[in-house]
């Protein structure tokens, strides 16, 4: 018997809803990364993008363990001399709470050509309001 190799038409993408209220950032980001990669499916193959969509709400209410809420910093560089910038977790969480979760999840995805396509399927919202209500309505 030959091993089943799924094609793009065999992939069925579903939607997952995650409420970040009171959850620990790293533990939640690993679960989101698993959904985005499709590792929870029996047809998972590392060279194909078989993951699902993930909607995260209440990103502003995320938690960190220990003293990380006070000590964690995010770094970036513009590429120009003197273009190094750093921002604390507290400031990032008040100004761009969506970016905190996106940064954590991107770090847990493999650094290859599929990362960008997987990150497009991640939808993060700072509050409980989101534009994907129709995807999660109970049918019946």
Q: What is the pLDDT of residues 3-33, one digit of tens each?
A: 888 888 889 999 999 999 999 999 999 999 9
User: Rounded to an integer, what distance in angstroms lies between the CA atom of residue 63 and that of residue 125?
Assistant: 16
Angle at 125 between CA 124 and CA 126, to 5 degrees: 125
- Domains of the chain by residue range: 13-63+96-128
pTM of the model: 0.91
- Fold annotation for 13-63+96-128: Ribosomal Protein L13p; Chain: A; (3.90.1180)
Q: What is the DSSP string of 58-126?
A: -GGG-B-STTHHHH-EEEEE-SSTT-EEEEEHHHHHHH-HHHHHHHHHHHHS-SSTTHHHHHHTEEE-S
């Amino acid at each position: 018997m030959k091993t089943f190799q799924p094609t793009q038409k065999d992939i069925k993408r579903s939607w997952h809803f995650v409420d970040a209220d009171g959850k620990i950032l790293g533990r939640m980001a690993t679960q989101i990364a698993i959904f985005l990669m499709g590792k929870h499916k029996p047809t998972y193959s590392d060279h194909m993008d078989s993951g699902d969509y993930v909607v995260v709400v209440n990103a502003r209410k995320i938690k960190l363990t220990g003293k990380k809420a006070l000590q964690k910093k995010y770094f970036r560089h513009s590429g120009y001399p003197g273009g190094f910038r750093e921002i604390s977790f507290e400031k990032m969480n008040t100004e761009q709470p969506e970016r905190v979760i996106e940064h954590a999840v991107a770090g847990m995805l493999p650094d290859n050509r599929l990362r960008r396509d997987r990150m497009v399927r991640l939808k993060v919202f700072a509050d409980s309001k989101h534009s994907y209500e129709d995807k999660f309505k109970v049918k019946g």
